[in-house]
Structure 1
Amino acid sequence: MNFELPVLAPSILAADFTKLGENIQDCTKAGASWIHCDIMDGHFVPNISFGPSVVAAAKKAAPEAFVDVHLMIENPDNFVEDFVEAGADSITVHYETCPHLHRTIQNIKKYGVMAGVAINPATTISNIEPILGDADLVLAMSVNPGFGGQSFIPATYDRIKELARIRDEKGYSYLIQVDGGVNLRNITKVAKAGAEVLVAGSSVFRAEDITTRVEELTEKLSSSNE
């Protein structure tokens, strides 16, 4: 899968599900190469979102897009195969739900997709250091997971920088992803801190014009490299 970093990953959690395909295509036409799918089970987080059938619909709407699946669910190992079959190109699980995290990461990798690990705002990075060499992606949650439309937690900037430092020192290759409260006002600062995959939900899908908003966010990301 070809994409240039940093990359915007619109989260369809905030999309209009009566126009899901159209919303996704608006994003890809504007240059978004990733589509982010937030899966919530009502147990690990206090909300229920959608399952593999919606991921499959997203892939069908934009077969050329990189479908990024974020499992905010308990017992994620039980569902990895279902999301791979639905079209996931990457699957991210939470440290907080995986007592055997190394095994879970290897389980995802055996299907030939990228394997990511996510941590909540109150979880220290040291908890996942033992598996950072195996992860393809590390997601630092910049809000408490469960609902869209929350405000970015400023302490996330230091966490992004710490993940970048560890990667550089150890020679690891994981991508650094941020999810929650990313918008036009802070996206450049988030990228400059070291984030390479920036998830944006409400900022994209609640805009007056989705295509224009994706273009605006992408332009700010491009300028962050200067």
Structure 2
Amino acid sequence: MKVQILPSLLAADYGCLAEEIRRVEAARADALHLDIMDAHFVPNLSFGPDMATLARRVVPGLYRHVHLMMTRPDLYADRFIDAGAQTLQFHVEADCDAWAGLRAIRARGVRTGLVLRPQTPAAALFPYLPLCDEVLFMTVNPGYGGQAFMSEVLPKIGALRCHADACGLNALDIMVDGGINLETAALCAAHGANQFVAGSFLFKQSDMGAMIAQMRDTCTRAYGTKTR
């Protein structure tokens, strides 16, 4: 599986967002991750569709990955796609029809997938996997950046990777987000994750590009060592 690193704009310096987005591109990140919070599904409020529009305008070639932490993502999906989202994820725990949501996003020609809170069993995702390009495991409680990594999610990652492979869904990407650094990313990779969202850990680096390259190499070597 190809390892991908996605810096989360939630941890950027909001006083110079355009420069921070250009910094992500210069660091050769695989995508820019946008965390969208509605202050209802999670106890925090972040960006709207205009942030995806800004990212597209500032660096058109930087892939835009959007995670909707919203009670009704189905009401806003089209707005984010129109604004430039190229992958759009929403929570399996959201108050909407997940089947309909996945189909509607795919019909727009956009990659999609479901997100799981740390407390939700991995099996909650199993029925939907044929419609998912990727799934995201939250390794912290969603809503705020800078939290400590929750290692109890690791067995769920491994269980989902094994289930997906057994069902012939070998191309399914598994993403992790929350408390991700060099060490925790390697742990997740060992259990079958191949996409890594990191916020404060990457944005605090004086050389983000060097750290992304190191993380990509470390995770590539660690990938799947706990699931073989």
Amino acid at match of 1:204: L
Q: Which structure 1 segments of 5+ residues have no match?
A: none
Structure 2 Cα separation of the partners of residues 224 and 22 of structure 1: 32
Q: Match of 2:141?
A: 144
Q: Match of 1:34?
A: 31
Q: CA deviation at 1:222?
A: 4.1
Structure 1 Cα separation of the partners of residues 145 and 187 of structure 2: 20
Structure 2 Cα separation of the partners of residues 76 and 44 of structure 1: 10
Whether 2:163 is the aligned partner of 1:166: answer yes
Q: Which moved more, 1:84-93 or 1:199-208?
A: 199-208
So what's the TM-score if we normalise by structure 1? Answer: 0.92
Q: CA deviation at 1:79?
A: 0.6
Q: Match of 2:92?
A: 95
Deviations 1:152-173 (A, max 9, x none): 1101211111111011100123
Deviations 1:77-102 (A, max 9, x none): 11111111111111000011144110
Q: Match of 1:123?
A: 120
Call closer, same or farther: CA 1:155–1:143 in 2, change over 3 Å. same
For the aligned residues, what is the CA RMSD? 1.7
Q: CA deviation at 1:218?
A: 3.1
Task: Map 1:3-82 onto structure 2 (within 5 A).
Answer: 5-82=2-79
Structure 2 Cα separation of the partners of residues 91 and 143 of structure 1: 20
SS at match of 2:151: coil
Q: CA deviation at 1:59?
A: 2.0
Q: CA deviation at 1:122?
A: 0.6
Q: CA deviation at 1:121?
A: 0.5
Deviations 1:116-144 (A, max 9, x none): 10010111122222111111111111010
Amino acid at match of 1:117: L
Residue pair 2:180, 2:201 contacting (<8 A) in 1 also = yes
Out of 204, 218, 221, the position equivalent to 2:219 is 221
